[in-house]
Structures are given as structure tokens and as C-alpha cells.
Structure 1
Amino acid sequence: MHIGIITSEYPHPKVKQSAGIATSIKNLALALVGKGNNVTIFVYHQDVNEILEEEGVKIHLIKNKKFKLFSWYFYRKHIQKYVNTIVKDQDIDILEAPDWTGITAFMSFRVPLVIRFHGSDAYFCKLDKRKQKFKNFVFEKLALKKASAFIAPTNFAGEETRKIFGLDKRKIKTIHYGLQLEHFENDSPEIYNENTILYIGTIIRKKGVLELAEIFNKVVKSNPNAKLKLIGSDAPDIKTGSQSTYKLMEDKFSEQAKNNASYLGKVPYSEVKEQIKKAHICTFPSFAETLGMVTIESMALQKPVVNTSIGWGQEIIDDGINGYLVHPSHINKYSEAILKLLNDNVLCSNIGKSARIKVEKTFNIQNIVHQNIAYYELVIKNA
């Protein structure tokens, strides 16, 4: 098969943006190539037009274009024309695209289109209890209605998206994101910086970072040696209008917590893995995810994780066995789970080992790739 994937992000030095979605796409692309398939990535909203090749994957950068009127429409038609040309020339059998902002609205393709639920604006607005722009909803719904089929990374994300847009449940297949486990080995899980709590992700309200500030206040009051380390881009806050959500976190920190917290900003992906290894525990108190790549990456590196208990989290972690699940608004319970781990190194070791086993069983890309291939083949057959 030849699979084409349309995306706004991909892990490559020449691509403007790369986050969790980009990692999941690359993991899948490399696994597909490893099984003898061809993969072409179309990355839109880029600074230049360029064709690259890396590890057997063709990457087409599509330059952003501005039009005098209705750029949102004509740029989509520009992407459509470009993709359809490559589809015909390179015999691409099926295309995949994300749901975010309905990039494939107003596009028509020569081959079936599968949309993967990386998280639509409507989905995140619902979870974050925010009002969505009507235009974004219309674009996302139009894009989804025109797709042949859908892939959800968790049952929760699939069901919530189905309800929001009134989709046919029979067209939705749950296939988890996968990891290249050989890139997530921790040969010395017993070596780490004691009492270090690590958060990785955008510093934004929906990720539960403001609750994390309050949680850390409780933790550091009981354990004055506890340290909180944060990695990720700072973001403006929609609710208050503040240009820095981290500034809002600082305002919530107690004096002691502020002294024991450090914000590293955005760091290279290779360094992120090293920071995970150095951490005592990792924590992700998010209110809005579809799955959370960094959660399973931390588990793969044998880190005990205190994770959100909302929907998707229950499909990743078995509470008390390979991690802990606590609702981010339950400040006391959340801080107690963190303190329990910080105060018991044997428990941390056991949870970390079990976390690795869970990832090997559930999120190994070498197993998951076969599910994707089988589903692509089914969609092509039924087109």
C-alpha cells in the first residue's frame, strides 16, 4: 500500500511545528515503511515548498499561501490540488488527515480519506467547557462528514467526537497511538533525582497546570525537598487574557513552592527523554487530551505516573497497578498520590516496572501498525 498523511506537524528540523501528534504520526509512518508500505507525508502551513526524504518516508512541505479573499478556502483548494497531483503520480491508495479545524473541509480527493481524531477544536472546547467559534465547528463537521472512515486513539475520544458531530459509530475504529519501544529503554531506572516531579506539555489551562500549582503547594508543604520541573511552551490564557499561563501558575505558587519550581521552557525532544529518566515521578493532570503521548512515553521509561482520571486516562493506566489516576480538581487526593510515591522508592520501582509492561502490551507500534494496515485495507475495499 501507499499511504498519504496530511498534517500540520512532523518531527523534522525543516518543519515549523512538532508536538505529540507529530511523534505519533512519525512512529506510525516508520512502522508502515518497515512493513513494506510506502508513506508520503504532506505538511501544510510551511515556509517553503520542498520535498524531503527521511528513513524511507517522503515528506512534502507545502508553503503557506495568502489570498486577497477567503484564504481559508483557497488555501485548502491549493492543498487539495497539490495532494491530488501526488496521489495520481505516485499511486497513493489512501489518505489520512487530522480533525483539528477541519483542514480537509472543501477538499475532494481521488482516494478514500480517513480522519484520525487527534482532537478537534470542538472536542477540546467541550472538555475545557469553552465556547467554540461557529466557523471552526462548521469546518470540522464538514470535513468529518466527507471522510470515508475514522480512527480514534481511545474509545473515549471516539465516543465524545461521535456525539459532538453526530457521526456513524460503525465508521469509527479505536486504534491507540504506538511507541517505537526500542527508543524508550531505561537501563538504570533506579537512578534518578529524588523528589523531582516532572510535567511535560504546553503550559496552558486545559492541561491542568493551574491545579498543578495548587497540588505542588500541598506537596512541598509536606515534603520541603520536593521539586517541580516543567517543560513545554508557554501559552496565553483565554479566560483571563494573560499572555503567560506560567505567570498565572507563579501567582498561585506559595513562596516555598515558587522557590522549588523551575520552568525550562521548550527543550529538544532528545533532551525530554533524558529529563524523564532523571525524574522521580511524572505527572499529567490534564482536563483535555485524546490519549497523551508523553504519558505513555514516561511509562515506557519506567516512571511512576500520576495521571488525570478523566476518560482517556482510564484506557492508559490501571489505577494503583501501573500508575495512579486522580481527577485534577481533587487537589488533596492528587497531592497525596504524589507524596505516596515520593515517600516509597520500592513502590515507585514496582509501579514503573508495571508501567513498562503495560506499554509493551498495549502501545507497541510493531503490533499497532498491523491494526492500521488492516483498517486501511478495509476502507479501501469498501470505498
Structure 2
Amino acid sequence: MHIAFLTSEYPHQRATHAAGIATSIRNLVVSLSEKGVKVSVFVYAQKEDAIFNEDKVKIHLIKNRAYKVMGWYWHRKFIEKYLNSYIVSEGIDIVEAPDWTGITAFMHFKVPLVIRFHGSDAYFCKLDKRKQKFKNFIFEKLALKNASAYITPTTFAGTETQKIFGLDKRKIKTIHYGLRLKDFENETPSTYNRNNILYIGTIIRKKGVLELAEIFNKVAKSNSEAQLILIGNDSPDLKTGTSSTYTLVDSLFSNEAKKHVNYLGKVAYSEVIDHIKNAHVCVFPSFAETLGMVTIESMALQKPVVNTNIGWAQELIDDTKNGFLVHPSNIDLYAQRILELLKDEALSEKVGIAAREKVEALFDIDKIADINIKYYKSIIE
């Protein structure tokens, strides 16, 4: 079997962008390749055209094209023609693409198309209670309607997407993202920086970063040794028109709390694991995710996580057993959970061990790759 992945991001030094979607795709691609499946990755929205091999995977970088009119259409048709040529010449059996902004709208491939719900613009707008651009909705709906089947990382994300676009629920399969567990081993889980609280993610309103500032104000008031470390790209705030969301976050910290905050900006992925290992508690008060890769990465490294309690998170964490679930707007309870973990190291260790066990049971990429292969075969047949 030969599988092609169409994506706008992939973790490679020559690719222009890589975030959580990229990580989840690469984890699956590498595992599929190790199981003898031939894989090609087509990365669009790039600065150059290039083809190269890495670990038995052929990677195509597709440069952005400029068109005088209707670029959104003609660039899609260019990608369609490009991909179809390799479908024929290299015997590709199936194409997987993301739902975001409906990249496969107006495309017709010579093999079945499966769309994975990494999170459509419509999905995030619904969770954010924002109005979506009509054009984006149409593109995403056309793309989804053209697909043979769908994969969702959580049942919650699948159900919400199905409702938004009126999809056939029988064509939706829940398959979690996975981790290469050998890359997430913590040999010294009892060694970390006491009272350090870590947030990793884009600095954007939908991730609950404004609420996190208020939460930390309460934590810092009760625990003078607490430190908050934030890692992630800053972004504009659509609601206020501000060019920097972190500027808004910073304005919410109390004078005392601000002394104990360290915003590191974007950090190389290779360094993120060390930051997680050094943390006492990891926090993800998001309002909008499909799953949240960094949550399961933190759990795999035996970190107690205080996560949002919205939909998808309930499929990752059993509240009070292998993490804590609190709605981001419940500032007092969220702060209380963090303080409990900072105060009780035995509780932190217990929750961290249980978190690792949860990841081993549900998010082992080796097992998940087998589930994907079986599902791909059912679509092809």
C-alpha cells in the first residue's frame, strides 16, 4: 500500500511551518513506514519546489503559486494535477488531507480521499463563538463532501464536525493521534523545578491564555514561589484587532504575578521535551482543540496536567485520576487544582504515573498505526 499525505506543515528544516498537526502527521508517517507501508508527503504553501527522501519517506515541497485572478482555485488545480501525476506514476493507493480551509475543494483525485479532522475553521469558529467567513465554510464543505471517508482524533471533534457540515456519521472513524513512546521517556520523573508551571501553545485567545493570566494571579497570591513559563508563537487578537495577544495577556497579570512570569516565545521542538521534564505542572486551559498533542506529550513524560474540561479533553484525561479537568472560565477552581499539585508532591507523582499509563493504553503510535492501516484498506477495498 502507498499512502500520500497532503499537508501545509511538516516537521522538517526545509519546510516553512510545523505545529501540532505536523507532529501528529510525522508520528504516523514514520510508524507506517516502519511497518512496510510506502509513504509520500506533499507539503504545499512552501517557499520552494523540492523532492527529497528522509527515512524511507519521499517528501515533496510545493511552492506557492501566484495568479492574477482566482488564485484560490488555480493553485488547488495545480496541486491536484501535481498529485495525480504521482498517483499514476508511483502507484499511490489513497490520499489523506486535512479539513482546515478545505484545501481539497475543487480537487478530484484518481484514488480515494480521506480527510482527517485536524480542526476546520468552521469547527474552531463554533467553539470560539466567532463568525466564519462564508467562503471558508463553502470551501471546507465542498472538500468534505468530496471525501470517501473521514478520520477524527476524538469522538467529540467528529460529532461536532458532522453536525456543522451534515456529514454521514457512518463514514467517520475515531482514531487518536499517537506518540512514539520511546521518544517520550522520563528516566527521572522526581527531578524537576518545584513550583514551575508550564504552558505550551500558540499565544491566542482560543487557547485560554487570557484566563491563564487571571488563574496565575491567584496562584501567585497563594504561592510566592510559583513561576509561570509560557512557550509558543504570539499571534494577533481578532477580537480587539491588537497585533499581539501576549500584550493583552501581560496587561492582565498583577504586579506581583508579573515578577514570576517568563515568556520564552517560540522554542525549538527538540527543546520542548526538556521544558516539560523540568516543569512541576503543565496547564492547557484551551477553549478549542481537536485533541491537543502537547497534552498527551506532557502526560507521557509523567507530568500532572490541569486541562480544560471541554469535550475532547474528557477523552484524554479521567478527572482527578490521571490529570485534572476544569473549565477555563472557572478561574478559582483552576487555580485551586494547580495549587494542590504544587503543594503535594506525592499527588503530583501519583497523577503523573497514571498519566503515563493512560498514554501507553490509548496513544501508542505503534498500535494506532495498525488501526490506520486497517481503515485505509477498508476504504481502498
Q: TM-score range by the shorter chain?
A: over 0.9
- Deviation of residue 56 (structure 1)? 1.2
Give matches, 1:228-267, under 5 Å. Answer: 228-267=228-267
What is the TM-score of this pair, normalised by structure 1?
Answer: 0.99
Deviations 1:211-231, CA, capped at 9 Å, x for gaps? 000000000000011000000
- Which 4+ runs in 1 deviate beyond 3 A? none
Aligned to 1:193: 193
Deviations 1:240-270, CA, capped at 9 Å, x for gaps? 1111110000110000111100100001001
Letter in 1 for 2:112: P
CA distance in 2, matches of 1:270, 1:247: 27
Aligned to 2:32: 32
CA distance in 2, matches of 1:42, 1:349: 42
1:45 aligns with 2:10: no
CA distance in 1, matches of 2:66, 2:281: 46
CA distance in 2, matches of 1:259, 1:72: 47
Deviations 1:335-383, CA, capped at 9 Å, x for gaps? 00000000000000000000000000000000001110010000111xx
Aligned to 1:122: 122
Give matches, 1:1-383, under 5 Å. Answer: 1-381=1-381
Across the two proteins, how many residue pairs are aligned to each other? 381
Q: SS of the counterpart of 1:43?
A: strand
- Deviation of residue 54 (structure 1)? 1.0
- Deviation of residue 53 (structure 1)? 1.1
Letter in 1 for 2:55: E
- Deviation of residue 52 (structure 1)? 1.5
Letter in 2 for 1:195: N
CA distance in 2, matches of 1:243, 1:259: 24
CA distance in 1, matches of 2:58, 2:177: 21
- Deviation of residue 208 (structure 1)? 0.2
Query: Which consecutive residues of structure 1, in runs of 5 or more, have no partner in the other structure?
Result: none
- Deviation of residue 18 (structure 1)? 0.3
Q: SS of the counterpart of 1:197?
A: strand
Q: SS of the counterpart of 1:44?
A: strand
Letter in 1 for 2:323: G
Letter in 2 for 1:152: T
CA distance in 1, matches of 2:68, 2:270: 41
Q: SS of the counterpart of 2:109?
A: coil
CA distance in 2, matches of 1:240, 1:125: 16
Identity %: 66
- Deviation of residue 159 (structure 1)? 0.1
Query: Which consecutive residues of structure 2, in runs of 5 or more, have no partner in the other structure?
Result: none
Q: SS of the counterpart of 1:86?
A: helix
Q: SS of the counterpart of 2:299?
A: helix
CA distance in 2, matches of 1:180, 1:52: 23
Deviations 1:71-92, CA, capped at 9 Å, x for gaps? 0000000000000001111100
CA distance in 2, matches of 1:23, 1:45: 17
CA distance in 1, matches of 2:223, 2:161: 41
What is the TM-score of this pair, normalised by structure 2?
Answer: 1.00
Deviations 1:108-145, CA, capped at 9 Å, x for gaps? 00000000000000000000000000000000000000
Q: CA RMSD in A?
A: 0.4
CA distance in 2, matches of 1:360, 1:341: 23
CA distance in 2, matches of 1:209, 1:102: 28
CA distance in 2, matches of 1:317, 1:221: 28
- Deviation of residue 68 (structure 1)? 0.5
- Deviation of residue 55 (structure 1)? 1.1
CA distance in 2, matches of 1:58, 1:328: 41
CA distance in 1, matches of 2:95, 2:191: 44
CA distance in 2, matches of 1:58, 1:218: 50
CA distance in 2, matches of 1:173, 1:148: 12
CA distance in 1, matches of 2:91, 2:272: 38
CA distance in 2, matches of 1:133, 1:323: 36
Letter in 2 for 1:308: T
- Deviation of residue 236 (structure 1)? 0.3
